[in-house]
């Protein structure tokens, strides 16, 4: 009789642990609150104008690679 109680207790604790683990893994973190993102601190960064001229009829997408040559040319 004592063995049965021990077995049932072990089985119930295993089931409880499994259910707790599964429910904890299923939780999704909430996204950032938009109101908190409005007051970001100033980090001192500012855009720097560059001399790269792109023709008006050309649209750049995501570059697969970027390299500077010895002649100081930028190749996308």
pLDDT digits (tens, 9 = 90+) for 2-39: 778 888 888 888 888 877 776 666 666 667 766 666 66
Q: What are the two backbone dihedrals, phi and then psi, of residue 75, each rounded to the nearest 5 degrees?
A: -115, 125
pLDDT digits (tens, 9 = 90+) for 30-65: 677 666 666 667 888 887 787 778 788 988 788 778
CA atoms 20, 24, 25, 27: torsion sign: positive
Residue-range domain boundaries for the chain:
1-29
- What is the enclosing helix (H) or strand (E) of 7? helix 2-25
Between these two residues, 75 and 40, which has the higher pLDDT value? 75
- Chain center to CA of 70: 36
């Amino acid at each position: 009789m004592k063995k049965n109680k021990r077995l049932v207790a072990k089985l119930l604790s295993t089931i409880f642990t499994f259910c707790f683990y599964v429910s904890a893994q299923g939780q999704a973190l909430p996204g950032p609150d938009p109101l908190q993102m409005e007051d970001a601190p100033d980090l001192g960064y500012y855009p720097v104008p560059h001399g790269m001229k792109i023709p008006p009829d050309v649209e750049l997408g995501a570059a697969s690679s970027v390299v500077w040559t010895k002649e100081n040319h930028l190749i996308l």
